[in-house]
């Protein structure tokens, strides 16, 4: 092995145990919430054909990590079977649906929590390897519109159980900017490039966006109208009148306005204040065709979106059958990177109890005590060595284990041994039986709180 100093790799986060406990809590809450809404879990392979990944628009060609054998020759690396790590979970899911369509029941509701990889420059909240938690609903042939309302409600339920503070889900419909641009006189092939430029508005500001739009061939008036559309937002369907007041007309635009108004009206009934119609939200990937979502932490909008997605009508297709879908993805690693300094796990170890050792000869008995506790759902471990009890207590305290169990010794007169358990927080020590003793409910599992 090389003796060179080991250095961390930028963009590949690794959590310490207590931080990992926070991440695990978030993932457990998200998974339970998804399942409570009827989503079933799947996992897809880490790699997809590069050709498929490259066809999904955005800057995917700059972000894909290629995968090949070290001994692969040039022909293998350049062939149509070349593989790349997936950069999101939607593209592999669409492939999964097509491959397994005959075995799935539609509409198919799935959740997927996995790592993804993107070869972009690491920066605040952006990584090369990170965890996403996705939900999608796909149907065969047609997808009812009401699912576009349902997904943000699921996210709201998950976030309500997590210590993330206030958040806002911004929503738009891709048909609104597309129809608007066509109504301005842009050619169809200009629409997607303009969408990508406008999607950078929060990152680079209106002046830079205006410059990029004029460089793309738009007139000053067209660029100004694009910015005017992007500036419109509203907590209800009143945004539609403001768009129409700009004087641009197109059938696709009107279709988008009606669709987004329906989403906003439905959300107002089920979760007032949850959604904000924000017409600068576009999403850079080409496969989105309808409603699109982005979620921001209130007061930390400059950080960008921590949860996003949208509707796609043609991503999952085998040429004969199409499976339209709508999905939304929580950027778990991105969210935690922002929140981790403010969060604290109650302990780093899942153990509730450390079973102490008087001496090594007593280890079998301590192991039996631990087994009895585990059978009743109480996580525990046996002390690593028969050190002085004071050192064993310090070991438990350093790991945040709240209780230490002291096995009793039989008396000389034959009286049965009596065990005791000590609460390290209060100092209270009481007699205990591993067949009946139960810790407080709050101690059974690691909890996460805000510092």
363 is in an annotated binding site: no
Is 132 labelled as part of a ligand binding site? yes
* CA-wise closest residue to 88 among 60, 62, 111: 60
Are 399 and 348 contacting, i.e. CB atoms less than 8 angstroms apart? yes
Q: Which residues contact 364 (CB under 8 A, 6 or more apart)?
A: none
Pick the closest to residue 156 from 331, 38, 28, 273 (CA basis).
273
Token pair, residue 251, equals 């059938």
Residue 101 gets which letter from DSSP?
A: G
- Any known ligand binding at 288? yes
Contacts of 73 (CB under 8 A, 6+ apart): none
Cα separation, 403 vs 430, in Å, equals 11
Matching residue, tokens 């976030």:
159
For 93, 212, 238, 266, 361, the CA distances from 87, given in Å and listed in that order, are 12, 26, 36, 32, 54
The tokens describing 168, both together, are 């806002």
Pairing of β 167-173 and β 275-278: parallel
Using left for φ > 0, alpha for ψ between -120 and 50, and beta otherwise, residue 59 falls in alpha
CA–CA separation, 310 and 289 (whole Å): 8
287 is in an annotated binding site: yes
**Is 236 labeled as ligand-binding?**
no
118 in a labelled binding site: yes
Please tell me whether 293 is known to bind a ligand.
no
Burial class (CB in 10 A: 0-12, 13-18, 19+), 326: buried
> CA-based Rg of the chain, rounded to a whole angstrom?
28
Residue numbering of the annotated binding site for L-histidine: 88-90, 118, 132, 136, 283, 287-288
Annotation: binding site: 88-90, 118, 132, 136, 283, 287-288
């Amino acid at each position: 092995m090389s003796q060179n100093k080991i250095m961390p790799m930028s963009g590949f986060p690794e959590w310490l145990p207590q931080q990992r406990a926070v991440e695990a809590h978030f993932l457990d809450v998200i998974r339970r919430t998804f399942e409570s809404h009827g989503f079933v879990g799947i996992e897809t392979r880490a790699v997809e054909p590069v050709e498929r990944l490259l066809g999904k628009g955005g800057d995917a060609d700059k972000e894909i990590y290629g995968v090949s054998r070290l001994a692969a020759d040039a022909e293998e690396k350049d062939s149509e079977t070349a593989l790349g790590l997936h950069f999101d979970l939607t593209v592999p899911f669409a492939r999964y649906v097509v491959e397994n369509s005959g075995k799935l029941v539609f509409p198919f509701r799935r959740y997927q929590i996995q790592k993804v990889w993107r070869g972009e420059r690491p920066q605040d909240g952006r990584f090369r390897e990170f965890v996403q938690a996705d939900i999608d609903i796909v149907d065969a042939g047609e997808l009812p519109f009401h699912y576009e309302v349902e997904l943000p409600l699921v996210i709201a339920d998950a976030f309500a159980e997590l210590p993330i503070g206030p958040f806002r889900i911004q929503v738009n419909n891709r048909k609104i900017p597309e129809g608007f641009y066509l109504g301005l006189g842009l050619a169809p092939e200009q629409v997607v490039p303009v969408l990508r430029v406008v999607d950078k508005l929060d990152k680079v500001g209106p002046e830079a966006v205006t410059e990029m739009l004029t460089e793309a061939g738009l007139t000053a008036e067209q660029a100004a109208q694009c910015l005017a559309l992007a500036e419109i937002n509203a907590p209800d369907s009143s945004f539609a009148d403001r768009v129409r007041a700009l004087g641009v007309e197109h059938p696709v635009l009107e279709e988008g306005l009606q669709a987004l108004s329906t989403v906003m009206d439905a959300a107002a009934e089920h979760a007032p204040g949850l959604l904000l119609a924000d017409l600068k939200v576009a999403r850079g990937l080409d496969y989105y065709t309808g409603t699109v979502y982005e979620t921001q932490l209130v007061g930390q909008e400059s950080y960008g979106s921590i949860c996003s997605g949208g509707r796609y009508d043609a991503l999952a297709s085998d040429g004969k059958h199409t499976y339209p879908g709508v999905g939304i993805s929580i950027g778990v690693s991105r969210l935690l990177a922002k929140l981790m300094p403010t969060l604290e796990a109650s302990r780093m170890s899942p153990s509730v109890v450390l079973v102490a050792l008087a001496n090594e000869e007593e280890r079998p008995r301590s192991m039996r005590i631990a087994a009895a506790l585990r059978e009743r759902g109480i996580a525990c471990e046996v002390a690593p060595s028969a050190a002085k009890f004071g050192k064993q207590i310090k070991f438990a305290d350093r790991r945040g284990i709240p209780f230490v169990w002291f096995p009793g010794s039989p008396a000389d007169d034959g009286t049965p041994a009596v065990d005791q358990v000590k609460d390290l927080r209060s100092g209270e020590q009481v007699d205990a039986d591993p067949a009946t003793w139960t810790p407080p409910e709050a101690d059974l599992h690691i909890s996460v709180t805000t510092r």
